Amino acid sequence: MAESEEFLFMEKCKGVNGIDKIVLRQGRGISVEIYLYGAHVTSWKNDGEELLFMSSKTNFKPPKPIRGGIPICFPQFSDMGNLDKHGFARNKFWSIDDDPPSFPAMPSHKAFVDLILKPSGEDLRIWPHSYEFRLRIILGPGGDLMFTSRIKNTNTDGKPFSFKFAFHTYFSVSDISEVRVEGLETLDYLDNLKNRDHYTEQGDSIMFESEIDKIYLDTPSKIAIIDHGQKKTLVLKKEGLPDAVVWNPWEKKAKSLVDFGDDEYKTMLCVEAAAIEKSIVLKPGEEWQGKMDLMVNFSSYSSGYLDPKSAVL
Ligand SMILES: O=P(O)(O)OC[C@H]1O[C@H](O)[C@H](O)[C@@H](O)[C@@H]1O
């Protein structure tokens, strides 16, 4: 292929308000957009169809976080600490890591980017720890979206640090009343709407008819979001992230969020791969790794998606 015709698997460009953006592409309507502000994925398309929810009211104005897509919560989750809600990683400008230490990549993984976040002098006053947070985002040839998150303690004062973490994914759904989530039934959870008290989920797959904000504990490595309205199933696979948050603000809370449309709760669902209940603790020199893969299948049949023998995965 002539150089001028070369397919661009990765492109750097400008997004809303001139913020640097990376686009990963695989052809056939398969693409991902990532803002360097927050290392925030704002779009994931397969077959031309958008799979992530973005609020029509988000304004892409730092230091406010972007509402929708995939924000990263680090080193704090929610208000479980003294930092700003969900920590600072989603409000920082990340850099492209042009010289990432090598770690396994499949030869077929041509659409990828390595990002890095390190603290500035001012950041160290807010959270007095040195770290290197490396994030590799890969768009597979079939449209799978894969994240590897690596956080290293680079403190020179000999001190460990601890943190919580979440990939706060906002999935786009056709109609929240037509959606069910499989993989979380019968699990223990902390209910954010009830003082984070401990409960056990009953019954079958999770369905939605009111506000939900739960931290499921020790969850399986695969969770399926089955959208009957759109005949699609989104599968979330994870490693190193034992917990899973499920959030939908529903009508009343949606109205109280300035960057969220009043009716938009009907077309989104957050299912967040996370490490919350037990903080991760790293000594100087130690590194933690957490992975999340997202896949879509355009059919909403059965619960066979979580069967290890299923052809889907
Ligand atoms: O409004 P944000 O700071 O982005 O947080 C949005 C939501 O994130 C998580 O899902 C939390 O469990 C919720 O309690 C919170 O409301």
The strand order across the sheet containing 232-239 reads 95-96, 111-117, 131-139, 145-153, 287-297, 232-239, 222-227, 179-182, 206-207
Q: To 5 degrees, how large is the angle CA 216–CA 293–CA 69?
A: 75
Q: Round to whole Å and give the CA distance between 294 and 147.
A: 9
Mutate to test the pocket of ligand 1, among 213, 217, 256 (most ligand atoms within 8 A of CB): 213
Atom 8 (ligand 1) nearest CA: 78
Q: CB of 76 closer than 6 A to ligand 1?
A: no
- pLDDT tens, position by position, 122-168: 999 999 999 999 999 999 999 999 999 999 999 999 999 999 999 99
Proportion of the chain above pLDDT 70, given as a percent: 93
The yes-or-no answer on residue 228 being catalytic is: no
Can you name the residues that pair with 143 across neighbouring β-strands?
A: none
In the DSSP assignment, the letter for residue 127 is S
What pLDDT score was predicted for residue 307?
53
Nearest to residue 142, comparing CAs of 44, 284, 273, 211? 44
Q: CB of 258 closer than 6 A to ligand 1?
A: no
Polymer length of the chain: 313
- Tell me: ipTM over 0.95: yes
User: What DSSP element (H or E) covers 165?
Assistant: strand 161-167
Minimum-distance ligand 1 atom for the alpha carbon of 272: 10
- In this prediction the pTM is 0.95
Residue 269 has pLDDT above 80, yes or no: yes
Minimum-distance ligand 1 atom for the alpha carbon of 249: 16
Find out whether 233 and 33 touch, Cβ atoms under 8 Å: no
Query: Could you say which of 129, 168, 264, 277 is catalytic?
Result: 168
Burial class of residue 256 in the structure, from the number of CB atoms within 10 Å of its CB (0-12 exposed, 13-18 middle, 19+ buried): exposed
What pLDDT score was predicted for residue 202?
87
Mean pLDDT for the stretch of residues 77-91 = 97
Can you name the residues that pair with 93 across neighbouring β-strands?
A: 37
Q: CB of 214 closer than 6 A to ligand 1?
A: no
Q: Which of 4-8, 18-22, 32-36, 201-205 has the lowest mean pLDDT?
A: 4-8
- Residue 134, Cα to own-chain centre: how many angstroms? 15
Minimum-distance ligand 1 atom for the alpha carbon of 253: 16
Q: CB of 32 closer than 6 A to ligand 1?
A: no
Residue 280 has pLDDT above 90, yes or no: yes
Mutate to test the pocket of ligand 1, among 54, 66, 72, 86 (most ligand atoms within 8 A of CB): 86
Residue 285 has pLDDT above 90, yes or no: yes
Q: What is the CATH number of domain 8-301?
A: 2.70.98.10
| Rounded alpha-carbon distances, angstroms, from residue 112 to 7, 102, 131 | 14, 13, 23
What pLDDT score was predicted for residue 204?
83
Minimum-distance ligand 1 atom for the alpha carbon of 86: 3
Proportion of the chain above pLDDT 90, given as a percent: 86
The yes-or-no answer on residue 132 being catalytic is: no
Q: Report how far ligand 1's centroid is from the alpha carbon of 63 (Å).
A: 17
Place of tokens 């690596």: 150
Mutate to test the pocket of ligand 1, among 40, 54, 66, 78 (most ligand atoms within 8 A of CB): 78
What confidence tier does 109 reach under pLDDT thresholds 50, 70, 90?
A: confident
What pLDDT score was predicted for residue 257?
98
Minimum-distance ligand 1 atom for the alpha carbon of 247: 10
Q: CB of 164 closer than 6 A to ligand 1?
A: no
What pLDDT score was predicted for residue 28?
81
- pLDDT tens, position by position, 156-208: 999 999 999 999 999 999 999 999 999 999 999 999 999 999 999 987 899 99
- pLDDT tens, position by position, 218-246: 999 999 999 998 889 999 999 999 999 99
